[in-house]
Amino acid sequence: MPSFRPARAILTGSTALALSLGLALAGCGGIPTNRSMNSIHQPVVEKVNYTLDITTSGSGLAYGEQSRLAGWFNAMGLKYGDKVYVDDPSGNAETRDAVEAVASRYGLMLDSDAPQTAGYVTPGTARVVIVRSKASVPGCPDWSAKSDFNPNNGLSSNYGCATNSNLAAMVANPEDLLRGADTAGSTVAMSSNKAIDAYRKAEPTGNGNAVSKTGTKGN
């Protein structure tokens, strides 16, 4: 009676190598594929509108509305980078001046062309709009690629998260990330030094170590 032996699979060298690589790739997912020098995580700037309707009068704001507006600015933490608009259907310049006087306490001036907001501005009122920008980096931190096996020579999935997140958190005006700061290159230090420069460049009052004399001569 013939005997039966269990069949054995015989693997050649190339087949064994291919199988081992396949098992290695199957065991480590999330291989980086970004081969550029740029991070896929970039800052995103979002804008949010906050509104307050205030009562107006012929001379600007109604009694008590200026204090109410100042309290709202304080509660909102109005700061550099915020934009303040006035939507006044009557177009009264004194209303705009009154709002700008309050905003100037926070170092801000009013911008023109108020953005559209929900609802209507009823007659006898004006709408103050604060447009605040916020910068963030969505998806950071990103540790989706957990393997060190990187045959594509790509960047880590978390590459750029720390730098761009810190930049988004520290920038004073998030809109500068979109188009840069539109200034002439002057700084606060340059402005404060104008008085010092004027003092240093002033002509001395003396002439040849002699103090200039003013007044009339007596007889």
Which positions ≥6 away from 78 have C-beta within 8 Å?
84, 103, 106, 108, 130
35 in a domain, yes or no?
Answer: no
Domain-embedded: residue 85: yes
**What per-residue string of b and e applies to 134-164 under the rule 16 or more CB within 10 Å gives b?**
ebebeebebeebeeeeeeeeebbbbbbbeeb
Q: Which of 43, 79, 45, 49 is nearest to 175 (CA)?
A: 45
pLDDT at position 21, please?
42
Query: Is residue 120 in a domain?
Result: yes
Range of the domain at 117: 44-135
pLDDT reported for residue 191: 60
Residue 92 lies in a domain: yes
In a domain, 215, yes or no: no
pLDDT mean by block of 10 residues, the chain; 219 residues: 42 43 47 84 93 90 92 94 92 91 90 88 92 94 80 86 93 86 59 73 66 51
How far apart CA 34 and CA 157 sit, in angstroms, is 8
Scan for tokens 């008085």, then name that residue.
Answer: 195
CATH number at residue 51: 3.30.1330.60
Model pTM? 0.62
Return the pLDDT at 27: 40
- At 31 the pLDDT is 77
Please identify which residue in the block is written with the tokens 């501005």: 121
Residue 1 lies in a domain: no
Q: How many CA atoms lie within 13 A of 79 on its CB side?
A: 10
Those residues whose C-beta lies under 8 Å from the C-beta of residue 31, and which sit 6 or more positions away, are: 25, 145, 147, 149, 150, 151, 152, 154
Q: What's the total number of domains in the chain?
A: 1
197 domain-assigned: no
